[in-house]
Amino acid sequence: MNLAQRASRFLSRYTDRRLLPLRGEVGVVSFSFDDAPMSACVAGAAALERHGVRGTFYVAGGLTDGVEEGLACHSEAALRRLLADGHQLGCHSFSHVHVNRIDAARRREEFERSAAFLAGLGVARETLDFAYPFGGVNVGAKHDCALRFRSSRATGGGTHVGVADLNALRTHRLYRAEPDGVSYADRLAVAASQRGWLVVNTHEVQDDAGPFGCTPGALSQAVAQALEAGCRVMTVGAALDHWTARAG
């Protein structure tokens, strides 16, 4: 990133904010999977279902039946199965592009193709939740996403306490490489004690996960810890409904 790109990324923290108050009886944890690799659709979903909870899968339709970063991506059948089992499908652009590196017209095209793809699976166009591919957010991308999506999720940044910016939701990256310097356990403790919202994101879920994924065991343990801490575990969409109902 050059200096102008860095500045725009930094400034986007303060632009187009849509603040949702977080007033609840308990903390909430949402598990999300970027790109929806096949392993996330199968082993990731199973790890959540074992605990009776569901997750959010951010899908780039253009990756369907493809290979991304050496990993088998979702099939359409796998996505349909996720929906049927009560998971949520969100938008991750269609072509899996850095939406902060394309112009507004290209972004609109990406969002429309993605919405059409998801609508074909039965996902409502009006309540789409988005995740910035590669966590790439800047002022322009955030503005366009704010106009189009119910929520837009970045990567990293930690637990929301008291309020969340729906146009740049933060996460804990549950990656094998642990890039955040703050542990999941610490961020979960904040969510539980301050009745906040922790969104977790990862990619593939397999025993030989790469640096941006995790093992089925680590995921299952993270879900168990959240429930043991007294948090509710729900999809990003369900969490938004949950917080919105309590915000008024």
Q: Measuring CA to CA, how many Å separate 199 from each of 9, 168, 233?
A: 20, 12, 10
Binding range to Zn ion, per CB under 5 A, among 35-43, 77-85, 107-115, 117-125: 35-43
Half-sphere exposure of 77 (CA within 13 A, CB side): 2
Whole-angstrom Cα distance, residue 219 to residue 20? Answer: 27
Residue 180 sits in the site that holds Zn ion (CB under 5 A): no
Choose between 160 and 203: whose C-beta lies nearer to Zn ion. Answer: 203
Of 89, 65, 240, which is closest to residue 169 (Cα–Cα)? Answer: 240
Minimum distance of Zn ion from residue 132's CB (angstroms): 9
Binding range to Zn ion, per CB under 5 A, among 114-122, 129-137, 139-147, 223-231: 129-137
**Which residues lie across from 62 on neighbouring strands?**
none
Choose between 28 and 82: whose C-beta lies nearer to Zn ion. Answer: 82
Task: Please check whether residue 47 is in contact with residue 215, taking contact to mean a CB–CB distance below 8 angstroms.
Answer: no
Question: Which token pair is 92?
Answer: 């991750």
Residue 68 sits in the site that holds Zn ion (CB under 5 A): no
Residue 34 sits in the site that holds Zn ion (CB under 5 A): yes
Choose between 133 and 158: whose C-beta lies nearer to Zn ion. Answer: 133
Minimum distance of Zn ion from residue 61's CB (angstroms): 12
Task: Please check whether residue 36 is in contact with residue 74, taking contact to mean a CB–CB distance below 8 angstroms.
Answer: yes
Residue 35 sits in the site that holds Zn ion (CB under 5 A): yes
Residue 126 phi/psi, 5° resolution? -80, -20
Choose between 153 and 195: whose C-beta lies nearer to Zn ion. Answer: 153
Q: What is the DSSP letter of 22?
A: -
Binding range to Zn ion, per CB under 5 A, among 104-112, 133-141, 164-172, 213-221: 133-141
Choose between 35 and 204: whose C-beta lies nearer to Zn ion. Answer: 35
Choose between 132 and 243: whose C-beta lies nearer to Zn ion. Answer: 132
Residue 90 phi/psi, 5° resolution? -115, 175
Residue 133 sits in the site that holds Zn ion (CB under 5 A): yes
Q: How many residues bind Zn ion (CB under 5 A)?
A: 3
Task: Please check whether residue 135 is in contact with residue 172, taking contact to mean a CB–CB distance below 8 angstroms.
Answer: no
Of 40, 26, 21, 53, which is closest to residue 162 (Cα–Cα)? Answer: 21
Chain contacts with Zn ion (rule: CB under 5 A): 34-35, 133
